[in-house]
Amino acid sequence: MKNFTITGDAITVDDCYAIVESGAQIALSPEAEERIKRCRATIEKLMAENRTIYGVNTGFGKLSNTRIKNDEAESLQQNIVISHACGVGKPLPSNVVRMVMFITMLRFAKGHSGIRLETVNTLIEMLNKGVIPVVPEKGSLGASGDLVPLAHIALVLIGFGEAMYKGEVMSGAEAMKIAGIKPVVLGYKEGLALLNGTQVMNALGIFAIMESFKLFKTANISTALMMEAVKGCMPAFDERIHAIRPHKGQMAVAKEVKSLLDGSGNVGKSENIQNPYSLRCVPQVHGATLDALHYVKSVLETELNSVTDNPLIFPDDEDVLSGGNFHGQPLALALDFLAIAISELANISERRIEQLVNPQLSGLAPFLINNSGLNSGMMIAQYTAASLVSENKIYASPASVDSIPSSANQEDHVSMGSISARKLDGIVENVRNVLAIELMCAAQAIDLSDAVEGLSPMTAKVYKAIRQRVPILEKDRTLYTDINQIAGMIRCGEL
């Protein structure tokens, strides 16, 4: 995608991801421009009438009852940006910041924020020319939106802060100058419009959900490869079982794994009449994760197409309403759910790894290596998987159940949604590596069980792709490079 015009109409999570990842050039439609200008005219009219409006001619948070003189209203907007830019920690990835900026533009195009068209166009110019603010990842409570990280984006817009430009970190002023962009002098309401909103947790959630669908598909593939290796029995995937417990995800997983194994000469050859739960209950476990993924994606998509700053302006009625659309609770709960759902993919995968490396369970050479004792084989790979699964249990602990009041108790319940969003990155990486270990072990087990010739057409492709990068383990070697190779295949979507 080379170009995208923001109209104010709803877009999907998939489109948002594709637009940002492709680096498409962004523009506003005439209709979106008109909505922005009309909303701005409303706020200017109300200011001319000397109306008291929160955050426009009052202080913020606990200071909302402090009236600001009209001739100081513009200074108020710069002050809020400067004072709120107090984030800490490593910078957010540039692609996340780009998505945050893009979501901000989508919101402004709805015409309820009161920001000037020239300010929005400057933000668009920054994105199109590659001036990407440096945004520390920590500091948001997810209540008045992502105030702290959004302030770091607005800093560069006004010529302060730091930015990444053409691969180099420099001052925001320098980046804007080199790119030929004139910094903005904020008008009333604009600082608040730029800082209130849930764009950071929304963007982080979108990246996490896109990766999570890859992990889900990979988990089904690794299950199929595992079934080939142990010559598992197929009744658990029979559609009749799932038709009488018709959860959509469960039915979809059973159908997909069965399809992957279609034409296999290995499955059903074991003497066991039942698979262990880590295989037999894959439709139920992976399926529950799939249902969760669809729910979370729907929440992210609703938020993507929402207006989440405050106060909100309704030009038709000439009303300015102060509400709580910036509160991140809908996202916080959904993203904590996502953390739990994808952690389960690793939990059950690690148990399948144990089924393979344990000779009492697999019937294969101990730890999937000949001449074991002299060789440790895949023994410690299972340790690594167990370590990652345990770490995920900490990450999956919900952030949304916590709340610390702020702003002298004016903001007395916060969502902690940005924490729910940020910890997903660690979970995604851990799940990816656990699945990589399972795929590595399954390929090794297929070789040891002489199952190569009986592979289904689909599992044969997966096995061949793995073996092109990771040779059979004849004797001990460092396995981290093998794990990294397969994890890379998962990350890029090759499998």
Active site amino acids: 54
Contact between residue 99 and residue 207 where contact means Cβ atoms under 8 Å apart: yes
Q: Which tokens in the block code for residue 244?
A: 């009488």
Query: Coil, strand, or helix at residue 89?
Result: strand
Beta partners for residue 67, in sequence order: 58
As a whole number of angstroms, the distance between CA 168 and CA 355 comes to 48
Contact between residue 8 and residue 30 where contact means Cβ atoms under 8 Å apart: no
Q: Which tokens in the block code for residue 346?
A: 């690793």
Among 165, 170, 144, 117, smallest CA distance to 310 is for 144
Whether residue 311 has a cis bond before it, omega within 30° of 0: yes
Q: Which tokens in the block code for residue 10?
A: 């709803």
Q: Which residues contact 39 (CB under 8 A, 6 or more apart)?
A: 111, 112, 113, 114, 115, 313, 315
Beta partners for residue 230, in sequence order: none
Our CA dihedral for 236, 237, 241, 247, rounded to 10 degrees, sits at: 120
As a whole number of angstroms, the distance between CA 191 and CA 183 comes to 14
Rg (CA), the chain: 26
- For residue 45, which amino acid is it? K
Contact between residue 96 and residue 60 where contact means Cβ atoms under 8 Å apart: no
Residue 93 DSSP one-character state: P
As a whole number of angstroms, the distance between CA 171 and CA 140 comes to 23
Give the DSSP per-residue string, 168-192. Answer: EEEEHHHHHHHHT-PPP---TTHHH
